[in-house]
Structure 1
């Protein structure tokens, strides 16, 4: 059965989460600058940022917790990729430094002799002052080789934020080498970052991708002063500021204007993928401590196959109960309910399998519970539709007319109901963490699948059935028998039956209107006397 395990089954099957399939557990030991002790706030912040990184990398249903207030335990489904390991282990020491000098990435073939290296003429006036470039900095710059990027997970040297440093850039496929001044804005001052297309005049998209940053109040004030200085230094390299992450330059844009609102926009040769990658690094980059992987081991499923089988059995029992109730209430019309539920199940299964392939989504036991709960919510849509059709049949309409009018009324109720379900699922998904998000996700997914099935399968199927003789003539087993529903025509006399839509008092109302016209205008007293006379007069038509 493809749903039980993703190992040894066809590729097009749902991926299972940690609680159902097992995976890898890593214990991370924190490390701070100067080997200072880690406090609880730093550890909790690290857990939040690692969780955001893992979720941003597309790894779902991961478990990230602290252990004894000293370590961080990361449990991931299956075997994590090198990129995921790097994201988890990286210290994410993000910094904004001014560029002092840039050049070719290769190591200098002939280092400059010490005698020819100029010493600074005085103390640096600001972070962009070339006087930061000492003899030692120049030697380190010439000896640095930036032609080959480091291996994933390879540790980078952490530089003193109050001193200049030499760093490499590997992004964009064109390596570069920089001498950078001291840190001016730390990464912790970033409030948020996102990727979007550049908007031209009139709000029209230019098709060019950019990264939008937003600093907090402290970062806004500092960045304003930095851009005031850097803008005056254009077009030299000293007009650039480098964004560093884990000792590497991830971008070095040129300051083209003074940014006073704390919302700069980074443009360049971005495509959608590279812009989103940079935005993710900026958004989740500021991690107060770094980590070493202390231990790593494979773990078995925390719940296992037996619990999944029990969940599936519970779902089948729920489906059977819905079927029994539908046959009892709607006779053979319940076949439409069963068929719709089966189609909704197929749509949900295909969607989960596709999300597993494209977005690395993994199904947990909480997600299975969300699907089981959705069976009852899905059946509600069909019940609303069927009852609307029955109401129209009770009013004397034909089945074809009842289906169309009932649908026009039922779909508004169905849309409102599913909108509430989706809203609840979205709020729960945003507010919750861990397995609860899996429950909310499948609940919302099945609500969307329900709408697709009702509009594209259930309603068209009832339109087809309304044209068949069995349902059109209201067979007692069809569930749409007008007599069973209380829509039996009333006798009018002279061998005539009440027409559909005509009330039983229609003739009496017409007779009263005719008599009123024959009697002509009357005063109130005359009208009351006439009514008393008619009530006391024997029914001549009945006597005849």
Structure 2
């Protein structure tokens, strides 16, 4: 037989490429020690929480609001990955089923309103005094804070950065000013952190905001709160334009109460009184200048200069204009009215000083974030705010006993179906059937590897609908190489081609049929996935995934392996067990046509 040419050695390189791909996936699984995929709610159990809407009137909420909340919650859950979570409506309640254990963060994500509003600060003061505690002195870095900055802290307690709930910017040491007309707040740093006697300061700024390394040193240098500050937190502050009822509410508000305002629905068209996230500062805030509905996207990332985690917020066209207008209007006002508070669920996340107008349609929220809290806040803002406030009326654990029994039955039926396909291939195609069986084995290995990797890196959880979709895919994969085998046999039956040429000509004709059939299947899977929910969407995902794997296996394994087999005397000479023998072909053995190449 003549030595193979460069073109004839390509099947070997293609098979090596597939082998490298399988080894890479295997190495990923081994490094992550993720040998078994995670299971969904029906196979692993999980948590079911029932959310009941709370309205100010006590009446049932509009049906449209419930439907919108379901859509937003479902988007948030899917944003955490292909977690197989289920969101359904039960009368006026929303039932959320989340697989696995340790899902408290996800439950918090779906049950908060996450409505961001940007409001101008009209007045600010420290929260009601706690039992006296002397502030811990710390050395002031050169050029980062002045004695006046420490003075503005009053007698606030030493901050605890770890006490902030997940999903909020950690407002550690948002220290309050001594309420004099010219006092600056410790949280007036525009997006720049500084460590001084008052603790860690933070802020949020938009693109182009001018950082102020030190607060204006005009605050009283006293380290202890003045008697005037204890008597009236509004003493010396400009109260013009503030609704009278809010002044009394501001004096009485208790920012130390547990769950102070989280999930509260503040009216964007009214002035409000609110507390900082860590409970150290109280504010009077103007009507909302920019609402969360004007946010087009939010991403968590790190500041390239400081390395701290931030949340980048992008606005729609209207929101960008509103943001530019409010920052332009307040930049020249005296403190604290030159601060723009970011209010999330009725709580002030951060209230930075605005030193110049910020056009461009984007801003960023910075604070004492870590990766988890920054990502969670970005997801809340990105997927929208709930139109209602909800309370968790019931939380129960879900058993996986029934699912395990169904899994066992599904695996048995899948193995039985696979066995029937293998027997059929061997009986009908004989030697060619071995290539078909090898293709099924490779498809199984690739499918399991991809499912395992997705499970541990993209939140994918294997459920019964997924398994059904994977079992059905056995027929899809078998159908592809059966089409190819029949094309080869047709070419040989015509008697004008050798096996080698028949393999190549048949492939050009078969691949068109295979691609069209898989394209139809994949389009159907996409449509079903986006239009359906729950188990049906899981089935569609599995079907679409295995359709892509089928194309991968047929192009990178079945066809190259068939090209290699065509060089073997067993197939080329039409052995009786090859599936290409003369009797089965109904013509003279193809061996006579390949003698020239022997």
Q: Does 1:182 align with 2:286?
A: yes
Superposition map of 1:324-403 within 5 A: 324-393=423-492, 394-403=494-503
Alpha-carbon contact 2:320-2:362 (below 8 Å) kept: no
Q: Deviations over 1:297-342 (max 9, x none)?
A: 2222384222222222222232233223323432221111111112
What residue number does 2:42 align with?
19
Task: Tell me the CA shift for residue 382 of structure 1.
Answer: 0.5
Q: Deviations over 1:118-153 (max 9, x none)?
A: 25463359xxxxx9995864886xx868xxxx99x8
- Could you say if the C-alpha distance between residues 272 and 449 of structure 1 is closer, same or farther in structure 2, counting changes exceeding 3 Å? farther
Distance 1:284 1:405 in 2: 51
Q: Does 1:193 align with 2:314?
A: no
What residue number does 1:521 align with?
none
Q: Does 1:46 align with 2:69?
A: yes
Distance 2:527 2:553 in 1: 24
Q: Which of 504, 509, 519 lines up with 1:419 in the alignment?
A: 519
- Could you say if the C-alpha distance between residues 461 and 59 of structure 1 is closer, same or farther in structure 2, counting changes exceeding 3 Å? closer
Distance 1:235 1:273 in 2: 36
Alpha-carbon contact 2:440-2:478 (below 8 Å) kept: yes
Distance 1:395 1:191 in 2: 68
Name the SS of the counterpart of 2:117 in structure 1.
strand
Q: Does 1:316 align with 2:415?
A: yes
Distance 2:379 2:544 in 1: 26
Name the SS of the counterpart of 1:65 in structure 2.
strand
| Structure possessing the higher radius of gyration over alpha carbons | 1
Q: Does 1:481 align with 2:578?
A: no
Give the number of the structure with larger relative contact order, counting CA–CA contacts within 8 Å between residues 6 or more apart: 2
Q: Deviations over 1:474-526 (max 9, x none)?
A: 11221123563245399xxxxxx99999xxxxxxxxxxxxxxxxxxxxxxxxx
Name the SS of the counterpart of 1:420 in structure 2.
helix
Distance 2:358 2:454 in 1: 42
Alpha-carbon contact 1:418-1:447 (below 8 Å) kept: yes
Q: TM-score with structure 1 length normalisation? A: 0.70
Task: Tell me the CA shift for residue 378 of structure 1.
Answer: 0.9
Distance 1:29 1:196 in 2: 30
Q: Which of 83, 90, 99 lines up with 1:77 in the alignment?
A: 99
Distance 2:594 2:394 in 1: 82
Distance 2:412 2:260 in 1: 48
Name the SS of the counterpart of 1:33 in structure 2.
coil
Superposition map of 1:429-508 within 5 A: 429-481=529-581, 484-488=584-588
Distance 2:48 2:261 in 1: 21
- Could you say if the C-alpha distance between residues 185 and 72 of structure 1 is closer, same or farther in structure 2, counting changes exceeding 3 Å? farther
Name structure 1 gaps, 5 residues minimum.
1-9, 126-130, 198-207, 491-496, 502-544
What residue number does 2:327 align with?
230
Alpha-carbon contact 1:489-1:499 (below 8 Å) kept: no
Greater mean deviation of Cα atoms: 58-67 or 114-123:
114-123
Q: Tell me the C-alpha RMSD between the 2 structures.
A: 4.1
Distance 2:107 2:537 in 1: 23
What residue number does 2:272 align with?
164
Alpha-carbon contact 1:23-1:77 (below 8 Å) kept: yes
Alpha-carbon contact 1:245-1:285 (below 8 Å) kept: no
What residue number does 1:404 align with?
504
Q: Which of 110, 114, 120 lines up with 1:98 in the alignment?
A: 120
- The alignment covers a number of residue pairs equal to 451
Alpha-carbon contact 2:273-2:283 (below 8 Å) kept: yes
